[in-house]
Amino acid sequence: MKLLNVLLVAYSFPPAGGVGVLRAASLARYFPGERIQLDVLTTRNASSVGADAALLNEISAEVRVHRTVTLDVPFTIKKRIKAFITGRNSSQSAASINSAGKSSFLKRILQDILLPDPQVTWLPMLARTARKIIKARGIDLVLITVPPFSSALLVERLRKEFPHLPIVIDFRDEWLSTTIDLVSFSHSKRAQKIARSTEASAVKNATAVVAVTESARHEIRARYSLEPDSKFHMIPNGFDATRPRAPVFPARNRENGAAYKILVTYVGTIYGSTDPTWLIQALQGLPSELKSRFKFRFIGHIEEPRFRDALLELGDMVELMGFMPQSEALAAIDKTDYALLITHDPLNVAAKLYDYIGAGKPILATVHPGGEVRRLLEELRAGWWVDSRDTEAIRQLFIDTATEANSRLASYRADLAKIAQYERKILAQRYAGLLHWIAEDPGEDDRLTYAGQISGTGE
């Protein structure tokens, strides 16, 4: 297998922090061991929830990282603009900007310019720099990971100049059926039209399309019936079994019955697709003696003040700990009794799920009842789930957790063999194999055969 020169395009890359960084960071960590010489094109000033310099230390010095400046606004300002445009109330957004007709005019301007998303301001510099790197470094294949979905516009631009260059677009989130409604910057008709045309162009001009769940792969593939099935692949996210963890505190004494606090930890951003409203209502309805049994810790950014305010209404039951670097967040998972998962998304799987299963923690989940997360939880025997919008079912989940206490934890039997297949190193090896195969330009028969092999779950 010859050495493959790959350019990985990722808007967010260490030292930027957050779950959106981890897929690109893990590929950069493991690709050099898979006969891939990697260049990374990223931003110098990415808008991110925080910084995590430790992730950068894990990437080999063999990886050449190219950083460009983007005109994207800082993370906190972007969230205020998003709240203003979408009409979601924030004490520092709509209220501070609003003034009759002026706010309506400003909304229309922002909705029409910052599309498909605010990171579109990076595109001119991105395209110019990518062309230079491809020529100067003898790049054999370009891998573009989205979101931000505006980076998908790069596919068509590169295709015009490099008609035979293999280009792979990696969708960390399915866009048109889920993300655009749950967490999109703009929901206008123009935004939806541009999103559809952007994705269609990217899929048409890409050599291959990679999704992170089988449901998302089917959803994307169904929109483009004229494209060969062999173009669409699935490689999931995963967890890192090789990263050192902080020492785990000794197990707390569980013999003291009601005096023992059940620690439940959530890691990740609270936003549209993880709206905690129904969870909060369920917990507020718990009998007072059961409320005192729980401590809920939320680690990560909370996008909207209304979510923060609602969580704080839980009083002593809740602790908001803010953003933490990945190593600290993983250490916090190690110390918890249960990991908490909230998602209303039927297609995408939050990256935190893989960190939860990698830590061996039983999961208490409120999920879309027909979604991919439910399927994974059941298949991996990773925890207990209820409908994310069924307040009574959520309440009963926590009643059962409190009343069964030790017996529930003792009964947890995850499928460790299946979980092991989601280790990031294993998945990076699969991804590297896919890229080598694409770069070799196989015939149609080989494409169909290999696509069926590499697009599976690996189980």
Each residue's pLDDT tens digit, 381-426 = 999 999 999 999 999 999 999 998 778 888 889 999 999 999 999 9
Q: Whole-number mean pLDDT of the chain?
A: 86
pLDDT one-digit tens code per residue, 48-100: 667 788 889 889 999 999 999 887 655 555 555 555 555 554 444 334 434 44
**pLDDT at position 80, please?**
56
Q: How many residues does the chain have?
A: 459
**Dihedral pair phi/psi, residue 44, rounded to 5°:** -85, -25
Per-residue H/E/C for the chain: CCCEEEEEECCCCCCECCHHHHHHHHHHHHHHHHCEEEEEEEECCCCCCCECHHHHHCCCCCCEEEEECCCCCCHHHHHHHHHHHHCCCCCCCHHHHCCCHHHHHHHHHHHHHCCCCHHHHHHHHHHHHHHHHHHHHCCCEEEEEECCHHHHHHHHHHHHHCCCCCEEEEECCCHHHHHHHHCCCCCCHHHHHHHHHHHHHHHHHCCEEEECCHHHHHHHHHCCCCCCHHHEEECCCCECCCCCCCCCCCCCCCCCHHHCCEEEEEECCECHHHCCHHHHHHHHCCCHHHHCCEEEEEECCECCHHHHHHHHCCHHHEEEEECCCHHHHHHHHHCCCEEEEECCCCCCCCCHHHHHHHCCCCEEEEECCCCHHHHHHHHHCCEEEEECCCHHHHHHHHHHHHHHHHHHHHHCCCCHHHHHCCEHHHHHHHHHHHHHHHHCCCCHHHHHHHHHHHCCCCC
**pLDDT at position 139, please?**
98
Residue 170 and residue 9: Cα distance in Å, rounded? 10
Domains of the chain: 4-238+424-454 (3.40.50.2000), 257-420 (3.40.50.2000)
pLDDT one-digit tens code per residue, 172-222: 999 998 877 765 566 778 888 999 999 999 999 999 999 999 999 999 999
Checking if the pLDDT of 345 tops 90, the result is: yes
Can you tell me the mean pLDDT for 12-27? 89
pLDDT grade for 111, boundaries at 50, 70 and 90: low
**pLDDT at position 448, please?**
47
Residue, of 437 and 17, whose pLDDT is higher: 437
Residue 94 and residue 80: Cα distance in Å, rounded? 8
Q: Which range (148-162, 252-266, 301-315) has the least confidence?
A: 252-266
**pLDDT at position 52, please?**
85
Structure tokens at 136: 């100067």
**pLDDT at position 357, please?**
94
Can you tell me the mean pLDDT for 294-313? 94
| Amino acid in position 161 | E
Residue 339 and residue 355: Cα distance in Å, rounded? 10
**pLDDT at position 73, please?**
56
**Dihedral pair phi/psi, residue 378, rounded to 5°:** -70, -45
Highest mean pLDDT among 164-168, 357-361, 446-450 belongs to 164-168
Find, among 97, 66, 67, 99, the residue nearest to 80 by Cα: 97
**pLDDT at position 298, please?**
97
Neighbour count for residue 380 (Cβ, 10 Å): 20
Do residues 263 and 335 lie in contact, with contact meaning Cβ atoms separated by under 8 Å?
yes
Checking if the pLDDT of 380 tops 60, the result is: yes
**Dihedral pair phi/psi, residue 337, rounded to 5°:** -85, -45
